Amino acid sequence: MSKTTPTAPDASGPSDAPDAPAGEQDLGAAGSQLSTAPVEGPPNLPSLGVVGWARWFWRQLTSMRVALLLLLLVALGAIPGSLIPQSGTDATKVADFVKNNPTLGDVYGKLGLFHVYSSVWFSAIYILLFVSLVGCIIPRTWQFVGQLRSRPPGAPKRLTRLPAYTTWRTEAEPEQVREAALALLKQKRFRAHLAGDNVAGEKGYLREVGNLAFHIALIVLLIAFAWGQLFKSEGNKLVVEGDGFSNTLISYDDFKSGNLFDTEDLVPFSFTLDKFTGTYETNGPNKGTPRLYQAAITYSKGAYGKERKTLVKVNEPLEIDDAKVYLTAHGYAPLITVRDGKGNVVFHDAVAMLPLDSNVTSTGVIKVLDGYRNAKGVAEQLGISAFFIPTYTPGSETASTFPALNNPVLNLTPYHGDLGVDSGIPQSVYQLDKSHVKDFKDAKGKELRENLRPGQTMKLPNGAGSVTYEGTRQWANFQVVQQPASGWALTGALTAIFGLAASLFIQRRRVWVRAVRGDDGVTVVEMAGLGRSESAKVPEELGELAGILYDRTPGAPDPANDPPQDDTTPEPRATPSEGAEK
């Protein structure tokens, strides 16, 4: 059978041309509603007045190009938040940046680049993107529900104009062919029904479901992100072996939270660090690389909760309700005992040292603020600079050669006087203010400095007392995070991925089967398919369906005077793309 190949019609809707042939108008209706994407019409200038401009602005805001532009702006706006120090994350770095770059720091401050995610301009982009997505999803969802409740449209008058088409003659009755076609399409999970002399079927609704799920998931992500930022809390606490922690605001070393966070939202729990274990590679190119970091803790939930033991490892936090306790760092805390000139113990505690390198070479300060008196009985304060080497190797006095406690050495340099802690100016426990203190002198008149091994004691000159290095404990730093809606964010991200995959790999398509009796009394069967866009899947699927239906309704012999029939499925012709889809 010969077939014409006219210009392919627009499958997105009926032709607007008044002189369009009936076949073209009918084909446009058959290809309509294959998508819920808004149809881009010719540009119309808005009418004068507030209502006209409001309508024009709303249409622009809910269009695909504006949504893509807003997504791009969100991505670009997040770049400064990654490159420039943020006040909510590290206020010290922000202060140092402003101090070192006063002019640039002032510009950044006025632009809100030190707090990008809470700035006015980033919030405006964020809210506009949210409104754009909502304004797109609501009408499209309503339209899609209407499509699900309706039936696929009947076949156009001229099936030969569709991009995938085949035909044959059969001796079966038209009613038998249509019943067989209806059963076949339903078996292949098409939504099918009889429409006059043809059977109409449609498949691929999950494409639009995936598209809508993707956009809804983006809204969920936006809400979850905003909720998490407003109500989140994050604090750090350094805990030495044998010490404990209670989840209260005053117990943290540093703490930051969202604008709407309330201290009553803190999950009530406490724990004690029983033991920290760290193992390392002992040889090879990865010597010194950590193999195991874990903290054995005993925790309880609430004021009178039952005590439980557990292990907290890197990337394996302890979860208590909405709080997660992460293990983030570790180091060493030498146990120090300080006595005055009369032998009275004025200080006995493990002092945490801050690591300086990957081999945990550490530094710290021992401060004796009360109770110490010198040899003359005068009350003073002691400040002792400490330098700790976990694995001391002769010839390498300035750094440890291995992170484990293989040969620990503690270097001490004591000072006496006023440490400045009573001035009212806050100071770090890891730094020593030497402006109002004096060093101790050794027998040669040099600054007193001495290396101690565990169990050794350094005598202060002139009977001023002594400092004993009792042994070494370990400390672990814990980060306690409460970020509500994180589960919603994960659900939204996974839904967005699967929804996007469905919208990309599933094609919405329609199939029609027409069976009518010809002039010679033999039934003529026509099959055609139409998809949203040009794809080899539509003709391939049509060929498979036609082969099955042909087996159920075998072809009739062609009349001798007729040219041979063409039972092959033609190659698909390109069809105009429909309106851009969000």
Q: Is 132 exposed, middle or buried (0-12, 13-18, 19+ CB in 10 A)?
A: buried
Q: Please report the pLDDT score of residue 305 as a whole number.
A: 83
User: Which stretch of 86-100, 158-172, 351-365 has the lowest confidence by average pLDDT?
Assistant: 86-100
Per-residue confidence band for 55, with pLDDT thresholds at 50, 70 and 90: confident
User: Rounded to whole angstroms, how far apart are CA atoms 178 and 537?
Assistant: 23
User: Rounded to whole angstroms, how far apart are CA atoms 351 and 467?
Assistant: 13
Question: Which tens digits make up the pLDDT trace of 310-355?
Answer: 999 998 999 998 899 999 999 999 999 999 988 899 999 999 999 9
Q: Where are the beta strands (DSSP E) in 369-408?
A: 381-389
User: Rounded to whole angstroms, how far apart are CA atoms 11 and 22?
Assistant: 14
Which pTM value belongs to this model? Answer: 0.67
Q: Please report the pLDDT score of residue 218 as a whole number.
A: 86
In the block, tokens 């939504």 appear at: 191
Question: Which tens digits make up the pLDDT trace of 356-383?
Answer: 999 999 999 999 988 888 878 888 889 9
Residues 224 and 488: beta-carbon distance below 8 Å: yes
Residues 184 and 176: beta-carbon distance below 8 Å: no
Question: Which residues make Cβ contacts (< 8 Å) with residue 490, sequence separation at least 6?
Answer: none
Among 532, 577, 576, 579, smallest CA distance to 41 is for 579
Q: What percent of the chain has pLDDT over 90?
A: 43
Per-residue pLDDT, averaged over 182-195, amounts to 93
Instruction: Please spell the DSSP secondary structure of 29-92, one letter per residue.
Output: HHTTTS--SPP-----PPPSSHHHHHHHHHHHHTSHHHHHHHHHHHHHHHHHHHHS--TTT-HH
User: Rounded to whole angstroms, how far apart are CA atoms 212 and 414?
Assistant: 69
Domain ranges of the chain: 54-142, 153-202+507-550, 232-480
Instruction: Say if strands 290-301 and 269-280 run parallel, antiparallel, or are unpaired.
Output: antiparallel
Cβ of 452: how many Cβ atoms within 10 Å? 19
Calculate Rg over the CA atoms of the chain.
39
User: Rounded to whole angstroms, how far apart are CA atoms 434 and 417?
Assistant: 9
CATH class of 153-202+507-550: alpha beta
Query: Looking at the predicted structure, is the pLDDT value of residue 13 above 70?
Result: no
Tell me the CA end-to-end span of the chain in Å, nearest whole number: 42
Among 342, 415, 414, smallest CA distance to 376 is for 342
User: Rounded to whole angstroms, how far apart are CA atoms 570 and 166?
Assistant: 7
Alpha helices in 150-204 (DSSP H): 174-187
Per-residue confidence band for 503, with pLDDT thresholds at 50, 70 and 90: confident
Cβ of 270: how many Cβ atoms within 10 Å? 18
Among 548, 519, 535, smallest CA distance to 166 is for 548
Residues 475 and 332: beta-carbon distance below 8 Å: yes
Q: What is the dihedral of CA 236, 242, 248, 253, to 10 degrees?
A: -30
What are 261's two structure tokens?
């966070």
Question: Which tens digits make up the pLDDT trace of 523-575?
Answer: 999 999 998 776 778 899 999 999 999 999 887 776 654 555 444 444 443 33
